[in-house]
């Protein structure tokens, strides 16, 4: 039988994107022995792919911006379903986290007078996104990794070993969390992708920072890693997931050629002046401004165009509505026959600014379209359509510490729920990673102060090992690629942008059958870099998470943010008070309804009564 290499740490962080790295830095700075594990190469995470920027009310480009307006925009974007405490901490602390990154060496783009420049993005009242061209995530990861290396160099000098206090385990995938008899975290079990060797990390504190679930859908901006591992590990360990019905479809992914369908076209294209048109040349977004946002958006093209130069005297263009609104509008245009030749709509920035300016502001987009679609975005429009991008739902955590319901288990970043409510604003993820990554790292370190962890028995480790080996031993079993394709089509077609009760019921039936088949997955070959085996281990996670998404989406009989019900188009004030929490038990996933915390009155005062009347119940209003 295969050997298991054991390690013991104070804090184990699973995931090396922005949230994981920031958590690891925080835990290490508290003097804790910390491991960071990532299933991809170190440095390759969604965070590195982030283009547009990180939202923080620095007030550099418009001095009127404050954390209060950032909080208000975030709550508006999430349609009042955000955890108010998380939204508050995020808005308050994001500026310090950005400045700290700069202190650690990040080189953001500059204003004329040398401060960090900020760009416009959907749903943000002021220019707020600190950015580096359209490669912001790259700079963020580079800086955080540099900070990790700096800490390791200090340890090498002082302790003679760079890994003494902070060690990175790249290309290592965690397949199970291990809990002790009391239900508290005892460790994490996984395998090395390169040679198939097994590893067991014992620790009193584990931070999940595994990112999203996009690979459960067929059209997605997400890359191969995003199989909902952290969401599923948390569920199986006894934690609850909230907001799982809210999946963000980014309005603009590439639609052509088929091999690149879903790849992201950054919102910066619209933030910097790109307009959306249908096949009739109409700037259709003017027809899709919902009542709740009407007061803040331009009614004519002249006003919308005027806003780029003079935002004080013009209202924002409707292309910059929150993502859910724009995605639904594009979906409708295409369905009603006004789409582009390959089933999207047109996005044009070429008429807004000269080619040199586009090269400077959107270098990656220019390169991406030229290389992948032979389209020159400085001279012609792009074809774009919605793509599954981000999951608002995730592990229910305590705002201050990132602690989940399972003692010793923490979560931060995309795998955590609550912060973004029913819809995330662009730019609010990168700032979320920094604010709550740091908080989860501190929370995990504090727990390690007075908990040793109970260790993991041989018996328990062998059981994890047997489950990991099962697909290799299953001779004539089910092909994981076949089930994965079925899953992606089911989620895309039946639990996608616009949902209907009977379709989701069918999805649940299909998912139940897929769940049975995942017990019989077979991946012939050995353990050395065997992608079929890797998929066989990740697929049950995607199926489990998809069940949580679908159950919650069926249960929530209203439309809000990233959840649109064709059969329940209204937004209901009663549902605004409810979080659906998914748990995992012997009978699979089940849901409970839990009350959502109210917004403190001093923050509620940021909104007009007219606006509140659209969201709150009569009782709350009085």
CB of 329 to ligand FAD, least distance (A): 21
Compare residues 67 and 615 and give the one whose CB is closer to ligand FAD: 67
Q: Which of 11, 17, 106, 203 binds ligand FAD (CB under 6 A)?
A: 17
Smallest distance, ligand FAD to C-beta of residue 82, A:
15
Q: Does 139 bind ligand FAD (CB under 6 A)?
A: no
DSSP 607: S
Q: Please tell me whether residue 40 binds ligand FAD under the rule CB under 6 A.
A: yes
Kindly give the residue spans of alpha helices, DSSP state H, lying in 362-477. Answer: 363-373, 428-450, 458-473
Q: Which of 418, 511, 432 is nearest to 81 (CA)?
A: 418
* Angle subtended at Cα 505 by Cα 79 and Cα 396, rounded to the nearest 5 degrees: 40
Overall residue count recorded for the chain in this entry: 622
Of 77, 95, 122, 137, the one binding ligand FAD by CB under 6 A: 137
CA distance to 34, 481, 490, 497, per residue, from 493 (Å): 42, 18, 5, 9
Q: Where are the beta strands (DSSP E) in 154-197?
A: 166-169, 172-179, 185-192
Range 307-326, binding ligand FAD (CB under 6 A): none
Residues 52-81 that bind ligand FAD (CB under 6 A): 52-54
Cis peptide before 257 (omega within 30 of 0): yes
Stretch that binds ligand FAD, among 326-334, 376-384, 407-415, 546-554 (CB under 6 A): 407-415
Q: Can you tell me which of 10, 12, 13, 15 binds ligand FAD, judged by CB under 6 A?
A: 15
Q: Could you give the residue numbers annotated as active site?
A: 250, 270
Binding string to ligand FAD for residues 591 to 620, with x set by CB under 6 A, is what? ------------------------------
Q: How far is the CB of 14 from ligand FAD (least distance, A)?
A: 5
Kindly state whether residue 49 participates in binding ligand FAD, applying the rule CB under 6 A: yes
User: In the complex, what is the shortest distance from the CB of residue 287 to ligand FAD, in angstroms, rounded to a whole number?
Assistant: 27
> Phi/psi zone of residue 281: left (φ > 0), alpha (ψ -120 to 50 degrees), beta?
left
Residue closest to ligand FAD (Cβ): 17
Q: Does residue 271 belong to the site contacting ligand FAD (CB under 6 A)?
A: no
Distance CA 304, CA 297 (A): 8
- When the beta carbons of 168 and 507 are compared against ligand FAD, the nearer one is 168
Angstrom distance (rounded) from CA 618 to CA 609? 12
Region of 2-10, 12-20, 478-486, 605-613 interacting with ligand FAD (CB under 6 A): 12-20
First-to-final CA distance of the chain: 67
Identified binder of ligand FAD from the candidate list 11, 50, 116, 582, rule CB under 6 A: 50
Q: How far apart are CA 541 and CA 159, in angstroms?
A: 40
Inter-residue contact 553 to 511 (CB < 8 Å): no
For ligand FAD, give the closer residue by CB, 194 or 355. Answer: 194
| 246/288 with CB nearer ligand FAD | 246
552 burial via Cβ count (<10 Å: 0-12, 13-18, 19+): buried
Q: Rank residues 411 and 494 by Cβ distance to ligand FAD and give the closer one.
A: 411
Which of positions 412-431 make contact with ligand FAD (CB under 6 A)? 413-415, 426-430
Judged by beta carbon, residue 172 or residue 559, the one nearer ligand FAD is 172
| Residue from 4, 11, 19, 166 binding ligand FAD (CB under 6 A) | 19
Dist. CA 338–CA 279, nearest whole Å:
5
Q: Count the Cβ atoms, other than its own, within 10 Å of residue 594.
A: 13
Residue 54's SS3 state is strand
CA angle 245/250/256 to nearest 5° reads 130
Question: Strand order in 54-55's β-sheet?
Answer: 54-55, 129-130, 118-119
Helices (H), 78-135: 84-103
Which range binds ligand FAD by CB under 6 A, 31-39, 310-318, 548-556, 567-575?
31-39
Q: What is the contact mask toward ligand FAD in residues 213 to 252, using x (rule: CB under 6 A)?
A: --------xx--x---xx----------------------
Which of 4, 18, 297, 477: binder of ligand FAD (CB under 6 A)?
Answer: 18
CB of 136 to ligand FAD, least distance (A): 6
Name the minimum Å distance from CB 420 to ligand FAD: 10
What's the closest the beta carbon of residue 124 comes to ligand FAD, in angstroms?
A: 11
Per rule CB under 6 A, is residue 20 in the interface with ligand FAD? yes
Comparing CB distances to ligand FAD, the nearer of 24 and 209 is 209
- Report the residue number, 45 or 275, with the smaller CB distance to ligand FAD: 45
Tokens of 567: 């059969």
| Pick from 30, 20, 67, 42: nearest CA to 428 | 67
Which residues are paired to 582 by β-bridges? 241, 591
What Rg value do the Cα atoms of the chain yield, rounded? 23
Closest to 228 in 3D by CA, of 4, 539, 596 = 539
CB of 581 to ligand FAD, least distance (A): 20
Phi, psi of 102 (to 5 degrees): -65, -40
Q: Answer whether 248's CB lies under 8 Å from 324's CB.
A: yes
Enumerate residues 373-402 that contact ligand FAD by CB under 6 A.
390
Are 420 and 78 a contacting pair, CB within 8 Å?
yes
Rounded (5°) CA angle 44-229-267: 50
Q: Which of 28, 33, 46, 439 binds ligand FAD (CB under 6 A)?
A: 46
Contacts (CB under 6 A) with ligand FAD, residues 326-345? none
The residues in 165-184 that bind ligand FAD, with binding defined as CB under 6 A, are 173-174
Total site size for ligand FAD, rule CB under 6 A: 43
Name the site residues for ligand FAD (rule: CB under 6 A): 14-20, 37-40, 45-47, 49-54, 136-137, 173-174, 209-211, 221-222, 225, 229-230, 264, 390, 413-415, 426-430, 433
């Amino acid at each position: 039988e295969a050997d298991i290499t054991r390690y013991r740490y104070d804090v184990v962080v699973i995931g090396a994107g922005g949230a994981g790295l920031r958590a690891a830095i925080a835990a290490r700075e508290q003097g804790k022995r910390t491991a960071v594990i990532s299933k991809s190469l170190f440095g390759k995470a969604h965070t590195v792919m982030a283009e547009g920027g990180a939202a923080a009310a620095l007030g550099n480009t418009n001095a009127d911006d404050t954390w209060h307006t950032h909080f208000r925009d975030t709550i508006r974007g999430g349609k009042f379903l955000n955890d108010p405490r998380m939204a508050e901490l995020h808005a308050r602390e994001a500026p310090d986290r950005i400045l700290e990154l700069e202190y650690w060496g990040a080189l953001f783009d500059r204003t004329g007078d040398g401060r960090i420049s900020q760009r416009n993005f959907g749903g943000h009242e002021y220019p707020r996104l600190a950015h580096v061209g359209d490669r912001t995530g790259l700079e963020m990861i580079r800086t955080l990794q540099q900070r990790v290396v700096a800490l390791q160099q200090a340890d090498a000098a002082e302790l003679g070993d760079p890994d003494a206090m902070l060690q990175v385990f790249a290309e290592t995938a965690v397949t199970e969390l291990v809990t002790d008899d009391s239900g508290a975290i005892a460790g994490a079990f996984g395998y090395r992708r390169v040679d198939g060797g097994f590893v067991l990390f014992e620790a009193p504190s584990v931070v999940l920072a595994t990112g999203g679930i996009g690979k459960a859908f067929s059209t997605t901006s997400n890359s191969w890693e995003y199989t909902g591992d952290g969401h599923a590990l948390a569920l199986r360990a006894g934690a609850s997931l909230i907001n799982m019905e809210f999946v963000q479809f980014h309005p603009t992914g590439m639609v052509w050629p088929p091999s690149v369908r879903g790849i992201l076209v950054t919102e910066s294209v619209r933030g910097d002046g790109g307009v959306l048109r249908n096949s009739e040349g109409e700037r259709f977004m003017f027809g899709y401004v919902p009542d709740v946002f009407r007061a803040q958006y331009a009614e004519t093209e002249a006003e919308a165009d005027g806003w780029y130069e003079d935002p004080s005297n013009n209202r924002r263009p409707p292309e910059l509505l929150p993502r859910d609104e724009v995605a639904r509008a594009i979906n409708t245009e295409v369905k009603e026959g006004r789409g582009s030749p390959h089933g999207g709509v047109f996005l044009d920035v070429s008429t807004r600014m000269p080619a040199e300016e586009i090269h400077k502001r959107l270098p990656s987009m220019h390169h991406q379209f030229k290389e992948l679609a032979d389209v020159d975005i400085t001279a012609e429009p792009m074809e774009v359509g919605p793509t599954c991008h981000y999951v608002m739902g995730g592990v229910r955590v305590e705002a201050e510490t990132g602690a989940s319901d399972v003692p010793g288990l923490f979560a931060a970043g995309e795998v955590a729920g609550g912060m973004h409510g029913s819809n995330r604003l662009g730019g609010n993820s990168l700032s979320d990673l920094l604010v709550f990554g740091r908080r989860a790292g501190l929370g995990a370190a504090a727990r390690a102060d007075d908990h040793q962890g109970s260790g993991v028995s041989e018996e328990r480790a062998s059981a994890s090992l047997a489950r990991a080996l099962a697909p290799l031993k299953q001779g004539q079993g089910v092909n994981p690629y076949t089930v994965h394709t079925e899953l992606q089509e089911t989620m895309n077609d039946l639990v996608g942008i616009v949902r209907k009760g009977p379709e989701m019921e069918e999805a649940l039936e299909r998912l139940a059958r897929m769940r049975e088949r995942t017990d019989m997955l077979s991946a012939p070959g050995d353990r050395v870099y065997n992608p079929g085996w890797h998929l066989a281990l990740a697929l049950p996670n995607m199926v489990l998470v998809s069940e949580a998404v679908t159950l919650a989406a069926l249960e929530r009989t209203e439309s809000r943010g990233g959840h649109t019900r064709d059969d329940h188009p209204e937004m209901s004030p009663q549902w605004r008070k409810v979080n659906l929490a998914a748990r995992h038990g012997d009978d699979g996933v089940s849901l409970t309804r839990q009350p959502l915390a109210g917004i403190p009155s001093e923050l509620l005062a940021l909104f007009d009564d007219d606006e509140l009347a659209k969201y709150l119940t009569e009782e709350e209003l009085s």
